[in-house]
Amino acid sequence: MDGRYNLQTPASAMAADLYNLHTFLFLLCLVIFIAVFTVMFYSIYAHRKSKGHKAAGFHESTAVEVAWTVIPLLIVIVIGVYATPIVIAQKNTADADITIKATGYQWRWGYDYLKGEGEGISFLSTLSTPREQITGQAPKGQHYLSEVDNPLVVPVGKKIRVVTTANDVIHAWMVPAFGVKQDAIPGFVRDTWFKADKIGTFRGHCAELCGKDHAFMPIVVNVVSAEDYSKWVASQPKAAAVKTAAVTTTKQ
């Protein structure tokens, strides 16, 4: 299963950069682990008391002090040089083609298209896994707890700015395949962005412990072609009033 033993397969350039950074740091930590434990176990074996060795007298050795200060410093600098451009790019939400507000509710997501093609579209996205599967009365489906009635729809190859906030408690909008995770905080507006490189359906979940139904507010994003996106936008006004009214109903 994709993402079972590692990060999900990247579906955006940002996610690919994060995947490579993750792999680099993992390998770096592995090298450090092997080096440290190799020296440690060799020292234990080769300088054991049964062979007549005595503890070395290098207390307050200048060379040792310099080594264990300079080496970690160089490692941190290397990591910083690699990671800083990626972190800066994550925060650059300028020049977005489409802006969407994602509002966290207990326990569902509300989406409002604020800018670009589709502006004015609003709807709720709620878990659609049958209750019988949740209670164990029916076999679990392929996308158990990762399916919704109204997925977010975006065009492929377009920069999508996601503005996050919340109506009640702190939530977090996360889609691993896009390399996106942003807290949604009541009374505050945060933002993030992604640009999907391929058409498909991508899934995520609220990544903040937001209450008893925290596990039941998935995120589903359908990435479609520009033509199909325009068709979807054209089909939305007919149902917009009904979906907007549903927001008021859920708050009662």
Per-residue pLDDT of the chain (252 residues; tens, 9 = 90+): 466 788 999 999 999 999 999 999 999 999 999 999 999 999 888 888 888 887 777 677 788 889 889 999 999 999 999 999 999 999 999 999 999 999 999 999 999 999 999 999 999 999 999 999 999 999 999 999 999 999 999 999 999 999 999 999 999 999 999 999 999 999 999 999 999 999 999 999 999 999 999 999 999 999 999 999 999 999 986 544 444 444 444 444
Rounded Cα gap, residues 236 and 241, in angstroms = 9
- Residues with Cβ < 8 Å from 221, sequence gap 6 or more? 151, 152, 153, 154, 175, 178, 196, 201, 202, 203, 204
Query: The tokens of 201 are what?
Result: 């359906």
Rounded Cα gap, residues 34 and 171, in angstroms = 39
Q: List, in sequence order, every beta strand (DSSP E) within the chain.
A: 98-105, 108-115, 122-125, 152-155, 160-166, 171-175, 180-184, 190-194, 200-206, 218-224
Classified as helix, coil or strand, 14 is helix
Classified as helix, coil or strand, 130 is coil
Q: What is the reported pTM?
A: 0.83
Contact 21, 84 (CB under 8 A): no
